[in-house]
Structure 1
């Protein structure tokens, strides 16, 4: 069940790297190595909590420790490279660094899952404690599908918002400032709810319901769309990116893992 483990490891990675890491910590670790240590400790918290849900085994514990150590190693390497003049030009492009960082994390997590499978003397299994199995059964989910739903929902909320801001915020004609923080939060919440609904409707095969989401958004911003062409283009980009990210997340998690 290496696919179960990789789903679990990816869920823990998203929790530790996106949800437990605040913007303040993300900035702090760029200027001080102590920030890397703080984030590495934060990243290890979900790995410990996983043992509350998944039955303990020495091999699983080793895999969780390895994933946390690999994460610390990558962040340490990134910090060291950011302080070297020969690499400074690369760090002026945060989107590129983000992609390289997450890709490297993904590769090492896949390696940990592969080591788990190879090290097992019999077919490796991950078992949830009975109480969690019973709770999942109440909503007609298996442990594997439960972990996959956790992963896809985690991905389409905060990471998707970060990806959009990194790659597409330059198209925003309103140029958000500190005074627009409330509007930014509202936009992030709307985008997150939109992607959750898209994933849900895709999962039950109600593709026509996606039109309801797009229509509701269009009504809310009709005046701005009608009067400002640049905003209309930015709105369309945001909507299409949300749909694409949701479809990719659902397809990869439920059919690719």
Structure 2
């Protein structure tokens, strides 16, 4: 079951946070855009599991569309709606994995790929899913959170275009990497480094200081939560057997 869930999680992350563009999000009330998103959800699930005629995946896509329709046409917005929407999607993925636990095992990839690669693919998918959720989904969550804390006055030096977002991407990617490699203590140095580098640009401005602190703490917290969840998922997958090379 865990391989099936991992494949579905990876497919969901790709469909919702990579293939769903900003233009699609802004025009999602259009039925054609909504159907296109549902088709991408189905396609990514089919590719990830190696199942191209499975009824459970069609049901998965329909439930995903139903959840998105409730959110979109119900006018729900903000961070709470985003988290509730993602929780509903996660519950659907878990339900499908419990219903059809052998979806991955009976799919194309275990039969097609050679022995060293097939068992490793779910591990790769777990890392891909964790990376996307930590970096891309984290950016959307932070953007929604900070909407209620937007600075009324623009600072004199606004910095590089998109610089703040890029810093966020990099810090969450580094936190994920540090947790997965067992270097958790190094995260403290990352926090200290960012604090020192930011001090000169926000010192004396209480609003800007609080804005940066809120965004930074949420970004670090999100990345840590996703990193530990990814680590737990990797630990739950069957261990990889690495054969020693013979001289």
How would you bin the TM-score normalised by the shorter chain? 0.7 to 0.9
Q: State how 1:1-257 maps to structure 2 within 5 Å.
A: 2-30=1-29, 32-50=30-48, 54=50, 56=51, 61-82=54-75, 91=76, 93-117=77-101, 127-128=109-110, 129-130=112-113, 133-134=116-117, 142-173=120-151, 183=161, 185-255=162-232
CA distance in 1, matches of 2:65, 2:153: 34
TM-score (norm 1): 0.76
TM-score (norm 2): 0.78
Q: Which moved more, 1:123-132 or 1:148-157?
A: 123-132
Say if 1:74 and 1:101, in contact at 8 Å, map to a contact too. Answer: yes
Q: How many pairs were matched up? A: 230
Compute the displacement of 1:111 (Å).
Answer: 1.1
Compute the displacement of 1:248 (Å).
Answer: 0.9
Bigger helix fraction: 1
Give deviations 1:37-95, integer Å, cap 9, x for gaps. 222223333234325xx4x586xx3333332222122223444544xxxxxxxx3x432
Give deviations 1:198-251, integer Å, cap 9, x for gaps. 111122222232133223323432322323122222222222212211221122
Distance 1:48 1:57, change over 3 A: closer
CA distance in 2, matches of 1:149, 1:166: 25
CA distance in 1, matches of 2:64, 2:71: 11
Give the alignment's Cα RMSD to 1 decimal.
Answer: 3.1
